[in-house]
């Protein structure tokens, strides 16, 4: 069995936690508390399908820790979703909120389903069914969901509507990533991708590299990837390849243009799941390679912005010697076993829970605005986001330098210490 098939995101998240707990000398009580989620909800969502039949979908919400504030984290719709993946993602949300110093804890949700094969009405029924199962355990003061892989602002609005119908009032702070004009924040759509580039910009500054002298290869062509490519391009960087999942062929492909991809042109031939039309891309002069080729491109920067476990011991040696920085746009894209190889290669890794924290940071801004019912201009949102991401980047990088550890270890040290302190202060550990 290959390393890829063996991968269990939760065991890997726990192993990482145990390693850092040891490093910072965390006491036993806090270790026991933080290595598992505090609460989990597993439930069935029965849905009447368009053809009149019933299908039952498995749904989850996992609340890892809420010592620093209500749980926060997205809901994924994915056919390969597992409870262990949701557990891992909920733990990563705890570290993510703590590393950017948000007054929020970590949670995550999911439904095992494939929106590619569901009509909008069936998706709406899943969203409403999900809320009906957990409405008493989520909400503005308990746990605030948001979009994630294959969920959108429309899904969030259906969920909010169900929550408000059940509770009889307007509670826009229940959920984030809502459409603008319906309680959403300007900038939320761009926030994760832009946040990745704010941290990348600072990393390049520290490494003495000019963005305009760099090229990048990106895995994934969804929301995070597209906005990261846009802002990186505005800084002068050139994206030369992107890979994406092809639903019809059930495989991923890498689209390469050495002179630089044209973002708008590619967006014009992409479906709303981030799938690029191969025939049309070929006509536009893109070379199409197998999906994993994104990792072996001759570039300075790798930007994994798809799913977990994409850089692992099976493929880490395919990384080109020229690569200097990996900015992790996805959650958990690098398997911990691959980290020592990256260190040996001298690659500077901006870890996921720092690099992609722009999304939840803007979600926090959205919640603040929703609770006030007063909304900020785009410039104000983005400048607040930049300030928060840049401060978090330097908090981690200063600690990494001080303790001579990687950015990932420094980020974990900072986050775990903050969460453990909140648990101690509350008398939980
Ligand atoms: N799903 C995003 C993440 O993994 C955003 C979470 C949120 O906005 O609450 O960070």
The three-class DSSP label of residue 290 is strand
What are the sequence ranges of the domains in the chain? 38-170, 189-355
Rounded Cα gap, residues 153 and 203, in angstroms: 31
Q: Among 3.90.180.10, 1.20.1050.10, 3.40.250.10, 3.40.50.10860, name the CATH number for the domain at 38-170.
A: 3.40.50.10860
Beta strand 54-65 with 106-111 is: antiparallel
Residue 247: predicted pLDDT: 87
411 touches ligand 1 (CB under 6 Å): no
Q: Which residues are paired to 180 by β-bridges? A: 184
C-alpha 131, offset from chain centre: 22
148 touches ligand 1 (CB under 6 Å): yes
- Our mutation pick for probing the ligand 1 site, out of 66, 95, 143, 146, counting the most ligand atoms within 8 A of Cβ, is 146
Q: Is 181 left (phi over 0), alpha (psi -120 to 50) or beta?
A: left
Which residue's alpha carbon is nearest to atom 9 within ligand 1?
A: 73
72 touches ligand 1 (CB under 6 Å): yes
For the entire predicted model, the pTM comes to 0.95
- Our mutation pick for probing the ligand 1 site, out of 66, 70, 73, 107, counting the most ligand atoms within 8 A of Cβ, is 73
359 touches ligand 1 (CB under 6 Å): yes
In degrees, to the nearest 5, what angle opens at C-alpha 353 toward C-alphas 292 and 175?
105
CA of 145, closest atom in ligand 1: 9
For the chain, give the number of residues. Answer: 429
- May I ask the CATH class of domain 189-355? alpha beta
146 touches ligand 1 (CB under 6 Å): yes
Rounded Cα gap, residues 176 and 160, in angstroms: 9
Rounded Cα gap, residues 70 and 281, in angstroms: 44
Per-10-residue mean pLDDT, the chain, length 429? 67 96 98 98 98 98 98 97 97 98 98 97 98 97 96 97 97 97 97 98 98 98 96 98 92 97 96 92 96 96 95 97 98 95 97 98 97 96 98 98 98 98 98
Give the number of other CB atoms < 10 A from CB of residue 123: 21
107 touches ligand 1 (CB under 6 Å): no
Q: Do the beta carbons of residue 273 and residue 222 sit within 8 Å?
A: yes
360 touches ligand 1 (CB under 6 Å): yes
Report CA(75)–ligand 1 centroid distance (Å): 8
Report CA(357)–ligand 1 centroid distance (Å): 7
274 touches ligand 1 (CB under 6 Å): no
The three-class DSSP label of residue 278 is helix
Residue 5: predicted pLDDT: 52
367 touches ligand 1 (CB under 6 Å): no
Rounded Cα gap, residues 280 and 30, in angstroms: 54
C-alpha 314, offset from chain centre: 23
H or E element that contains 379: helix 378-403
Rounded Cα gap, residues 76 and 110, in angstroms: 4
CA of 356, closest atom in ligand 1: 10
C-alpha 100, offset from chain centre: 14
The three-class DSSP label of residue 144 is strand
Report CA(360)–ligand 1 centroid distance (Å): 5
Residue 273: predicted pLDDT: 87
Beta strand 287-290 with 251-256 is: antiparallel
Nearest to 218 by CA among 237, 201, 205, 246: 237
Report CA(192)–ligand 1 centroid distance (Å): 8
CA of 148, closest atom in ligand 1: 1
Q: In sequence order, what DSSP letters do the residues of 247-268 get, joined into one string?
A: TTTTEEEEEE-TT---HHHHHT
CA of 72, closest atom in ligand 1: 9
Q: Do the beta carbons of residue 7 and residue 312 sit within 8 Å?
A: yes
Which residues are CB-neighbours of 204 under 8 A, at least 6 positions away? 210, 211, 214, 325
Report CA(213)–ligand 1 centroid distance (Å): 31
CA of 188, closest atom in ligand 1: 8
Any idea which residues carry the catalytic annotation?
Answer: 108
Report CA(148)–ligand 1 centroid distance (Å): 6
Fold agreement (38-170, 189-355): yes
CA of 147, closest atom in ligand 1: 1
331 touches ligand 1 (CB under 6 Å): yes
Report CA(50)–ligand 1 centroid distance (Å): 31
61 touches ligand 1 (CB under 6 Å): no
Query: How many H helices and E strands in the chain?
Result: 15, 12
């Amino acid at each position: 069995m290959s390393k890829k098939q063996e991968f269990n995101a939760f065991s890997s998240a726990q192993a990482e936690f145990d390693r850092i707990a040891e490093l910072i000398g965390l006491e036993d009580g806090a270790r026991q508390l933080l290595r598992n989620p505090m609460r989990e909800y597993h439930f069935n969502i029965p849905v009447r399908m368009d053809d009149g039949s019933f299908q039952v979908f498995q749904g989850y919400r996992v609340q890892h820790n809420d010592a620093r504030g209500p749980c926060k984290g997205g809901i994924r719709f994915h056919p390969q979703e597992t409870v262990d993946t949701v557990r891992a993602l909920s733990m990563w949300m705890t570290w993510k909120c703590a590393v950017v110093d948000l007054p929020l804890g970590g949670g995550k949700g999911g439904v095992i389903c494939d929106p590619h094969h569901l009509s909008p009405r069936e998706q709406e029924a899943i969203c409403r069914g999900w809320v009906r199962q957990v409405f008493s355990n989520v909400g503005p003061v308990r746990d605030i969901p948001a979009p994630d892989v294959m969920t959108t602002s429309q899904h969030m609005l259906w969920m909010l509507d169900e929550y408000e119908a059940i509770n009889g009032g307007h509670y826009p702070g229940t959920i984030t990533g809502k459409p603008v004009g319906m309680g959403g924040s300007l900038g939320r759509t761009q926030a994760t991708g832009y946040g990745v580039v704010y941290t990348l910009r600072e990393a390049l500054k520290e490494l003495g590299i000019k963005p305009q002298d760099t090229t990048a290869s990106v895995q994934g062509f969804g929301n995070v990837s597209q906005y990261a490519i846009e802002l990186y391009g505005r800084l002068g960087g050139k994206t030369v390849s992107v890979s994406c999942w092809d639903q019809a062929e059930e495989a991923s492909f890498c689209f390469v243009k050495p002179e630089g991809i044209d973002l708008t042109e590619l967006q014009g031939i992409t479906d709303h799941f981030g799938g690029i039309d191969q025939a049309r891309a070929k006509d536009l002069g893109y070379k199409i390679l197998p999906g994993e080729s994104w990792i072996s491109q001759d570039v300075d920067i790798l930007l994994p912005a798809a799913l977990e476990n994409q850089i692992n011991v099976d493929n880490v040696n395919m990384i080109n010697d020229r690569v200097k920085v990996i900015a992790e746009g996805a959650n958990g894209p690098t398997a911990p076993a691959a980290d020592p190889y990256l260190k040996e290669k001298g690659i500077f890794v901006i870890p996921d829970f720092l690099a992609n924290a722009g999304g939840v940071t803007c979600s926090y801004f959205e919640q603040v605005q929703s609770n006030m019912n007063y909304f900020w201009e785009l410039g104000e949102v983005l400048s607040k986001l930049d300030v928060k991401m840049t401060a978090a980047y330097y908090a981690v990088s200063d600690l990494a330098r001080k303790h001579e550890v990687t950015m990932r270890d420094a980020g974990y040290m900072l986050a775990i210490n903050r969460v453990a302190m909140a648990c101690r202060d509350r008398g939980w550990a």
